[in-house]
């Protein structure tokens, strides 16, 4: 049975699609069969990323390991029973179609609350939530007092994850392994960074997620998107000498893959 990875965060700009593409490509490069699904039916950033890769590789006559992108199938309205949701059926049909030929299914969710995203979270074996190192983004997970030191309550997103966990428990499925990935960390030990570190660690104990290191802010990620490339592809396209920033970014990806603790996976790339 395929292991389902869901990348979710109801706030845009946290790096979901960048994380999705790099995790998916890393797994493929390690020999795993990876299928991808983009549930942001409007922007489709992850889907565009994979399509850009497909186009660039064809143009450059290159054959690089790549995840297989799938689309949500259409469901005839007449096939639904009274009260059934069409999006539930479309997602279930997509996962059923991907599962036989996949070791991992990676689902990239939109930066907003949708029915598709809600259902996808309940399917997650591993849930990755990228989070920028800011209290604006932390508010997605929980509310704090004015000092930022005291957590006053969970957010609607945390409550949605809690509901997804309850649904899995009722179905007799294994608990969701929720991993919050801290992106765009500052290089210096600043007051905000230290407060964020304490707040995230405190919340992790209260609502049950693990914390993993993510990506620092780097220009390379914006440059790679139009060609659908990742950090792991640079040498394959003729970059003979990686600069210090690129080497550091590859190590960040390796650290992230290790921290995810996915079944049958090591960070040997």
pLDDT tens readout for residues 177-217: 999 999 887 655 566 778 888 889 989 998 999 999 899 88
Task: Classify the C-alpha dihedral 120-121-122-123 as positive or negative.
Answer: positive
Q: Hey, what are 73's tokens?
A: 């199938």
Lowest-pLDDT choice from 102-106, 181-185, 258-262 = 181-185
Instruction: Give residue-wise pLDDT tens across range 206-249.
Output: 899 999 989 988 888 889 999 999 999 999 998 888 889 889 99
CB contact at 8 A, 108 and 22: no
**Whole-structure pTM value:** 0.93
């Amino acid at each position: 049975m395929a292991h389902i990875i869901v990348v979710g965060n109801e706030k845009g700009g946290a790096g979901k699609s960048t994380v999705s593409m790099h995790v998916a490509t890393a797994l493929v490069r390690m020999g795993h069969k990876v299928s991808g699904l983009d549930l942001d039916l409007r922007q489709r950033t992850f889907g565009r990323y994979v399509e850009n890769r497909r186009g660039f590789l064809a143009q450059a006559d290159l054959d690089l390991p790549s995840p297989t992108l799938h689309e949500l199938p259409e469901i005839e309205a007449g096939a639904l029973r009274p009260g059934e949701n069409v999006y539930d059926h479309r997602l279930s049909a997509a996962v059923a179609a991907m599962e036989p030929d996949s070791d991992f299914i990676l689902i990239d969710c939109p930066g907003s609350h949708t029915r598709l995203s809600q259902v996808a979270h309940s399917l997650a074996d591993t849930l990755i939530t990228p989070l920028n190192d800011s209290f604006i983004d932390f508010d997605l997970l929980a509310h704090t007092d004015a000092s930022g030191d005291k957590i006053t309550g969970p957010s609607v997103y945390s409550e949605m994850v809690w509901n997804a966990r309850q649904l899995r428990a009722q179905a007799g499925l294994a608990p969701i392994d929720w991993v919050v990935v801290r992106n765009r960390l500052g290089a210096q030990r600043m007051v905000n960074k230290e407060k964020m570190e304490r707040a995230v660690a405190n919340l992790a104990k209260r609502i049950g997620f693990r914390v993993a290191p993510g990506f620092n802010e780097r220009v390379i990620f914006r440059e790679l998107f139009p060609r659908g490339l990742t950090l792991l592809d640079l040498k394959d396209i003729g970059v003979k000498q990686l600069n210090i920033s690129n080497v550091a970014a590859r190590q960040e990806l390796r650290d992230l893959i290790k921290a995810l603790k996915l079944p049958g996976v090591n960070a040997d790339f």
